[in-house]
Amino acid sequence: MLKQLLGKFAENRAEKLLTDAGLSILQRNYRCRQGEIDLIAQDGDTLVFVEVRSRARRDYGSAAESITPAKQRRVIAAARHYLSTLRRLPACRFDAVTLDGGGEPVWIKSAFHDVG
């Protein structure tokens, strides 16, 4: 329960960071069989898939380091599923918003790429 509350808190902070920067949030917590996308946003003509990660402590690495290749593959697969529902394919990118130790959120544009 606490983990879910912390995740929701992190997503709220990420959403505020992105909307303050002028992005529009299209969807939160998009889920499909392939995986989940925390936030889907519009940045001008670009569709942005956002992974939100938070870590209370750095004992096992930073929030950014927790976005493993396996996690990236799940987000990319979910993004492909989402894109399959659209009539035309927009430019896309994969961003991350990380929070470490309750500090300020950090927005990492183009945090990872779809290589396939």
Q: What is the C-alpha separation between 66 and 10, in angstroms, rounded? A: 14
| Paired tokens of 5 | 């509350």
Query: What integer pLDDT is reported at residue 116 of this predicted model?
Result: 54
Please report, in tens digits, the pLDDT of each residue of the chain (116 residues total). Answer: 667 777 788 899 999 999 999 999 999 999 999 999 999 999 999 999 999 998 876 667 788 888 999 999 999 999 999 999 999 999 999 999 999 887 889 999 999 987 55
Query: What integer pLDDT is reported at residue 101 of this predicted model?
Result: 81
What is the residue-wise DSSP string for 42-85?
EETTEEEEEEEEEES--TT--TGGG--HHHHHHHHHHHHHHHTT
Query: What integer pLDDT is reported at residue 6 of this predicted model?
Result: 75
Q: What is the C-alpha separation between 40 and 80, in angstroms, rounded? A: 12
Q: What is the CATH number of the domain that holds 9?
A: 3.40.1350.10
**Beta carbons of 80 and 34 less than 8 angstroms apart:** yes
Q: What is the C-alpha separation between 37 and 51, in angstroms, rounded? A: 6
**Beta carbons of 11 and 28 less than 8 angstroms apart:** yes
Query: What integer pLDDT is reported at residue 1 of this predicted model?
Result: 67
Query: What integer pLDDT is reported at residue 89 of this predicted model?
Result: 93
What is the total count of domains within the chain?
Answer: 1
Domain range for 23 is 2-112
Closest CA to 97 of 13, 9, 2: 13
